[in-house]
A = this chain, B = another copy of it.
Amino acid sequence: MRILIALGGNALISEKAERTYEAQYKVANEAMAKLYDVLQNNEVVLTHGNGPQVGDILLRNEQPVDGIPSMPLHACGSMSQGLISEILIDAYGSLSRNGKQMISVFSRALVSSDDKAFHSPSKPIGRFYPKEEADYLAKKYGWSLKNTSNGTWRRVVPSPMPQKIMEEEAVKKLLDSGFIPISAGGGGTPVVKNGNRIEGVEAVIDKDLASSVLAHGIGCSNLVILTDVEGAYRNYGTHDSERIGKIKVSEVEELYRKGEFGSGSMGPKILASTEFIRGGGKLAVISSLNNAGKAVSGGSGTVIIPG
């Protein structure tokens, strides 16, 4: 089977864990042990989140250092791709004696400059600022900042829909050749067409939505989104809460429209899954990393099928 596996943050770092290189290596190494057989026995492309890593890079980047210009957000995302590539390959490599080789391709996610997200930036990133500094930054850099619950302000950036992973042909070629490609790290570096140039843009890309378009682009039959919960729930947070098992795409779309999954983490996972199935995919699974082995063929988690 040709499968795209999207690794959630918990495959790289536990929520409150220290974020040293070695700590991240250990978490990734445990994740890779759980995935090892799946990686050997299928054609797998890996994608991954980058929240904590790009957050750290960004905080360092916002700290003034004499003579060193700050890099734009999209370039910080590119740096996080390099960092996480090393961690994942290091973590996988120590388990693999004669297994397939993992290869990371620097990846960009094409978005439309007309995407409505550019008119309503919503994703908070970077530091918390007092009001005066927030006003100054808004004026100086043209940033959008929003009041947070504790009276401080934070930069918000758009999260546009990825249309395509620009590197999909190369990823496909590597997959065809027996490698385990890593692509669309952190959703991919967001780029827009601007005349002849396809240039970075100040935005973040949801990694599950990016995974869905990549999975479609390279002809995967299965999209497997691994996270820290067992799947999606109906009536989440009420006493009628019930995990969804196998479900038709039309039914889950109906639940999505009713706002059943929220706009936080699960909403984009559901949207990524339904888009994948509507684009011709056979199986979309949202499952925990611990059950990865069963999840890849729909034996665990929330399993969305055509129909």
- A83 to chain B: which residues have CB within 8 Å? 71, 75, 78-79, 82
Known contacts A82-B78, A83-B79, A199-B90: A103-B65 contact under CB 8 Å: no
A69→B19 contact, CB < 8 A:
yes
B79→A56 contact, CB < 8 A:
no
Bound-complex Cα distance A38 to B163 (A)? 31
Interface residue A86 (Cβ < 8 Å from any Cβ of B): yes
Number of copies: 2
Quick one: which of A192-244 are within 8 Å of B by CB? 196-200
From B20, B57, B61, B197, contact of A69 by CB (8 A): B20
A75→B86 contact, CB < 8 A:
yes
B93→A86 contact, CB < 8 A:
no
Q: Bin chain A's interface residue count.
A: 35 or more
B80→A170 contact, CB < 8 A:
no
Q: Which of A59, A85, A108, A169 has the most CB of B within 10 A?
A: A85
Bound-complex Cα distance A93 to B19 (A)? 35
A68→B78 contact, CB < 8 A:
no
Quick one: which of A57-106 are within 8 Å of B by CB? 57, 59-61, 63, 65, 68-69, 71-72, 74-75, 78-83, 85-87, 89-90, 93-95, 97, 101, 103-106
A198→B90 contact, CB < 8 A:
yes
- A95 to chain B: which residues have CB within 8 Å? 196
A105→B108 contact, CB < 8 A:
no
Select the stretch in A138-146, A171-179, A271-279, A288-296 that faces chain B: A171-179
Whole-angstrom distance between the Cβ of A267 and the nearest chain B Cβ: 28
Q: List 8 additional A-B contacts (Cβ < 8 Å) besides A75-B83, A78-B83.
A: A21-B72, A79-B80, A82-B106, A86-B189, A90-B198, A94-B197, A94-B198, A106-B106
